[in-house]
Structure formats: structure tokens, C-alpha cells
């Protein structure tokens, strides 16, 4: 379902001059909760979120992907944004990030450092004392550190 929704809303966001940062799908009571993160070169404000919410809601209702039983929340990813894809990491080279790992890398499960390199298999983080090569699969959560 997530891929279906992303394929449907990405062209809408592009036409509105927004970037799709991510989509989380969860549960809220007996409804689906869709949290859509959008971005733009000039930032995001509440009016942007409202415009996108109206367009996406209309499209989801017409296509009936969620069977009408969903809650849509549109948000900016924020300054301390979650990094969810390889592309997100690539956009943040030379920025500070906080990683929570699923399993230890060099005896550490939490790493704060600068993203030095990104490739298809792993990211390279420098925390001033060590350099870590971290597989994407081992990352539980990654967030920019402000």
C-alpha cells in the first residue's frame, strides 16, 4: 500500500513544487494514520501543509486506496529531520547525524558524527575519534543533529 500511495502522491507534490521527504503509515484507533513529510528549497509552513493535505486527501478519496478510513497528517521533516533513504544521507554529506543502530558496530549502538561518504551499501561516519562504515540495514533510526 505504501508504494501505491507514494506513486500516486509524488506527481502531485512535484507539480506543487514540493519534495516528498517520506511517508510513515501507522495505526490510530481503528484507522490508518498517514504521516506525509514534505520539503521545499524555501522551507515549509502551515499553509504549505494545508494545501498539500487538501490535494492529497482529494486524490486518496478518489482513488479509494485507504477505503476512506484514514487520517492524513502533513508535516515538514523539521531541522532535525529523520533520514530514511540513501538519497537523504547523500543530501546530508558533511552534516552531523545521530544514529541508533539495530546491532553494535565497533561496540557501539549509538553514534553521533559527520556523514563523510555515502554509497549503495553503507555510509561513512566520522565522530572525531573513529570512522565507522555502517550498513543501511543496521540503522534503526537516523536523525540530523542540530
Q: What is the pLDDT of residue 49?
A: 97
pTM equals 0.80
Quick one: cell of 10? 509524488
Nearest to 39, CA basis, from 78, 3, 80: 78
Q: How far is CA 7 from CA 11, 13, 37, 101, 104, in A?
A: 8, 11, 15, 29, 35
| Cβ atoms < 10 Å from Cβ of 107 | 5
Q: What is the pLDDT of residue 12?
A: 94
Distance of CA 50 to the CA centre of its chain: 19
Q: How many residues does the chain have?
A: 146
Q: What is the pLDDT of residue 146?
A: 86
Ranges under pLDDT 70 in the chain: none
- φ and ψ at 135, to 5 degrees? -65, 145
Amino acid at each position: 500500500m505504501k508504494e501505491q500511495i507514494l506513486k500516486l502522491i509524488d506527481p502531485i507534490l512535484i507539480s506543487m513544487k514540493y519534495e516528498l521527504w517520506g511517508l510513515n503509515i501507522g495505526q490510530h484507533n481503528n484507522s490508518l494514520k498517514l504521516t506525509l513529510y514534505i520539503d521545499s528549497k524555501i522551507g515549509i509552513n502551515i499553509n504549505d501543509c494545508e494545501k498539500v493535505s487538501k490535494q492529497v486527501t482529494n486524490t486518496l478519496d478518489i482513488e479509494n486506496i485507504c477505503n476512506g478510513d484514514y487520517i492524513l497528517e502533513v508535516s515538514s521533516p523539521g531541522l532535525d529531520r529523520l533520514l530514511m533513504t540513501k538519497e537523504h544521507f547523500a543530501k546530508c554529506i558533511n552534516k552531523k547525524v545521530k544514529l541508533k543502530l539495530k546491532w553494535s558496530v565497533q561496540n557501539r549502538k549509538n553514534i553521533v558524527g559527520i556523514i563523510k561518504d555515502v554509497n549503495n551499501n553503507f555510509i561513512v561516519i566520522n565522530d572525531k575519534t573513529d570512522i565507522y562504515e555502517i550498513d543501511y540495514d543496521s540503522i534503526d533510526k537516523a536523525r540530523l543533529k542540530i
